[in-house]
């Protein structure tokens, strides 16, 4: 089927075959002429890759929504594990995309050296060429950068100057825009091979008529006693790609799925840490050990009716509530714990601050997470706690001793440790 976007035309392919024929005989000669590469393979792998990109994109939007300080629609407080699940999916989808992206790039890269054909006048062909090649260039570049900086972010490796979150967010839109253009340009080919079974070798209607007849391929084929081609089947290549994706997900997802911890050798967090919960930033790294362990510590509450200071003992003397809530980090790890402490709502009631947004300030003096906003509907939630205990023990200093914030369905970065004060802006 010849379509407006059919990039296969006889002349450049003949050039490729001549190139292949000039190489010495041996397995390498099949590189550019292999019939494993085909629209069928590219569409199959592309479909799975598309699923990964869509999941990563949508869950990424959720994450930005959760971290937006002034969203159009308030971020929900339920389900309490919502952010944990969407971030886990985001991380798994991004990791799963890596092998699929490589297989897909492998399946199409010879086409980059093939001229572009199409129907219509020169201007139309030029426009289609620019759209096709341009969207692919942007899509490939953004996908590689997104996956690379995403993985680097999970390992706390930031060899760059830009803000990770905003860059990752902006590139996601560029990537999805390029994907939409790419799908639009490729629609005829995608439609042509969407639901089809793998075509038998040599009988793929997508294959150019001149390809299988003679030359290197035909010569190699005749060497096979059963007449089959010496390369793996396309189905096997798709299968290998999917298997690799599954493998890399299993090797890393234990950071967020406890059942996989033993097999996730490359997970960024083992799930172990003081009191059964991993640590991102230790008290020492945050330079708060002295302030956090000062016996004269008090938590300052500030609201419309004034200020109140509560010592550790006074906080522990107030009604204590427990909640099982996860810490779900944007870096792809999460862990659940039983947190015990005082409700934010009951604390803010002491200063007339119930029903308002609360600013949460850490004893930590510098760093990106030293001050966060707790929206009004989170601040009144009975599960939003100033936690004093984790899994039955007094918080360890690395978990935010003497007091930390823990709220339901809240991104980990906003679960502020080593609380200095809670205040309502008046
Ligand atoms: N003051 C302060 N609070 C903080 C952080 C921090 O660096 N400083 N890190 C945040 C991040 S990124 C996460 S995921 C959670 C959980 O980190 P932890 O496991 O190190 O406690 O704490 C959050 N609270
Ligand atoms: Mo985090």
Looking at ligand 1, which residue's alpha carbon is closest to its atom 23? Answer: 413
Q: For each of the chain's 426 residues, which pLDDT tens digit applies?
A: 444 444 444 565 566 556 555 555 544 444 455 677 888 888 899 999 999 999 999 999 999 999 999 999 999 999 999 999 999 999 999 999 999 999 999 988 887 776 666 667 888 888 888 888 899 999 999 999 999 999 888 887 888 888 899 999 999 999 999 999 999 988 988 888 877 777 765 555 555 444 443 333 333 333 445 555 557 788 888 899 999 999 888 888 877 777 777 777 676 666 567 888 888 889 999 999 999 999 999 999 999 999 999 999 999 999 999 999 999 998 878 999 999 999 999 999 999 999 999 999 999 999 888 999 999 999 999 999 999 999 999 999 999 999 999 999 999 999 999 999 999 987
Q: What is the pLDDT of residue 86?
A: 96
Q: What is the pLDDT of residue 351?
A: 98
Closest ligand to Cα 63: 2
Cβ neighbours of residue 250 closer than 8 Å, sequence gap 6 or more: 260, 263, 264
Looking at ligand 1, which residue's alpha carbon is closest to its atom 4? Answer: 416
236-272 pLDDT per residue, tens = 888 999 999 998 888 888 777 777 777 776 766 665 6
Q: What is the pLDDT of residue 216?
A: 37
Q: What is the pLDDT of residue 255?
A: 74
Tell me whether residue 207 is exposed, middle or buried, using C-beta atoms within 10 angstroms of its C-beta: 0 to 12, 13 to 18, 19 or more.
middle
Compute the distance between CA of residue 244 and CA of residue 221 in angstroms, rounded to an integer.
29
Compute the distance between CA of residue 385 and CA of residue 82 in angstroms, rounded to an integer.
18
User: Which residue is associated with the tokens 């069928």?
Assistant: 40
278-315 pLDDT per residue, tens = 888 899 999 999 999 999 999 999 999 999 999 999 99
Measured in Å, residue 331 CA sits from the centre of ligand 2 at: 6
Q: Which residues surround ligand 2, an ion (CB under 5 A)?
A: 329, 412-413
The predicted model scores a pTM of: 0.83
Contact 400, 418 (CB under 8 A): yes
Measured in Å, residue 322 CA sits from the centre of ligand 2 at: 22
Which of 412, 419, 421, 422 most suits a substitution to test ligand 1, by most atoms within 8 Å of the C-beta? Answer: 412
Looking at ligand 1, which residue's alpha carbon is closest to its atom 10? Answer: 413
Looking at ligand 1, which residue's alpha carbon is closest to its atom 7? Answer: 281
154-163 pLDDT per residue, tens = 887 888 888 8
What is the position in ligand 1's atom list of the atom closest to the CA of 411? 14
**Enclosing H/E stretch for 388:** strand 385-390
Within 10 Å of residue 410's Cβ, how many Cβ atoms? 29
Q: What is the pLDDT of residue 270?
A: 60
Strands 385-390 and 393-394: antiparallel
What is the position in ligand 1's atom list of the atom closest to the CA of 281? 20
Residues with a CB atom less than 6 Å from ligand 1: 278-281, 286, 327, 329, 362, 364, 367, 369-370, 399, 412-413, 415-418
Measured in Å, residue 369 CA sits from the centre of ligand 1 at: 7
Measured in Å, residue 414 CA sits from the centre of ligand 2 at: 8
Measured in whole angstroms, the distance separating CA 385 from the mean position of its chain's CA atoms is: 29
DSSP characters for 325-380? EEEE-TTS-EEEEEEEEEEHHHHHHTTT-TTS-EEEEES--SSTTSEEEE-HHHHT
What is the position in ligand 1's atom list of the atom closest to the CA of 335? 19
Q: Which residues pair with 270 in a beta bridge?
A: none
Measured in Å, residue 280 CA sits from the centre of ligand 1 at: 6
356-381 pLDDT per residue, tens = 999 999 999 998 889 999 999 999 99
Q: What is the pLDDT of residue 56?
A: 97
User: Which residue is associated with the tokens 């083992």?
Assistant: 270
């Amino acid at each position: 089927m010849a379509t407006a976007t059919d990039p296969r035309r006889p002349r450049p392919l003949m050039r490729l075959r001549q190139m292949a024929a000039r190489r010495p005989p041996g397995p390498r000669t099949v590189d550019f002429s292999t019939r494993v590469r085909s629209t069928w393979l590219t569409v199959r792998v592309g479909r799975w890759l598309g699923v990964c990109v869509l999941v990563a994109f949508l869950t990424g939007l959720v994450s930005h929504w959760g971290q937006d300080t002034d969203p159009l629609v308030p971020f929900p407080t339920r389900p309490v594990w919502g952010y944990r699940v969407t971030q886990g999916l985001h991380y798994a989808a991004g990791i799963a995309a890596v092998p699929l992206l490589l297989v897909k790039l492998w399946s199409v890269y010879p086409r980059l050296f093939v001229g572009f054909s199409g129907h219509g006048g020169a201007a139309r062909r030029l426009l289609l060429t620019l759209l096709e090649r341009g969207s692919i260039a942007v899509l490939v570049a953004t996908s590689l950068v997104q996956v690379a900086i995403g993985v680097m972010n999970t390992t706390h490796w930031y060899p760059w100057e830009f803000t990770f979150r905003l860059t990752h967010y902006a590139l996601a839109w560029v990537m999805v825009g390029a994907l939409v253009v790419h799908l639009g340009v490729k629609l005829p080919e995608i439609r042509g091979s969407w639901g089809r079974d793998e075509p038998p070798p040599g009988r793929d209607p997508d294959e150019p008529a001149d390809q299988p007849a003679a030359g290197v391929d035909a010569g190699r084929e005749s060497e096979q006693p059963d007449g089959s081609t010496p390369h793996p089947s396309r189905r096997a290549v798709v299968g290998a790609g999917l298997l690799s994706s599954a493998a890399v997900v299993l090797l890393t997802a234990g950071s967020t799925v406890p059942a996989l911890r033993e097999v996730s050798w490359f997970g960024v967090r083992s799930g172990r840490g003081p009191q059964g919960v991993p640590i991102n930033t230790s008290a020492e790294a945050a330079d708060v050990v002295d302030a956090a362990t000062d016996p004269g510590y008090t938590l300052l509450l500030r609201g419309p009716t004034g200020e109140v200071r509560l010592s550790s003992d006074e906080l522990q003397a107030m009604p204590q509530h427990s909640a099982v809530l996860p810490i779900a980090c944007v870096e792809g790890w999460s862990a659940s714990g039983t947190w015990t402490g005082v409700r934010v709502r009951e604390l803010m009631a002491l200063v007339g601050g119930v029903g308002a947004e609360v600013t949460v300030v850490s004893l930590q003096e510098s760093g990106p997470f030293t001050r966060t906003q707790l929206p009004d509907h989170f601040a009144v939630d009975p599960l939003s706690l100033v936690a004093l205990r984790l899994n039955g023990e007094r918080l360890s200093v690395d978990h935010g001793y003497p007091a930390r914030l823990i709220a339901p369905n809240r991104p980990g970065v906003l679960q502020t440790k080593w609380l200095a004060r809670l205040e309502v802006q008046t």
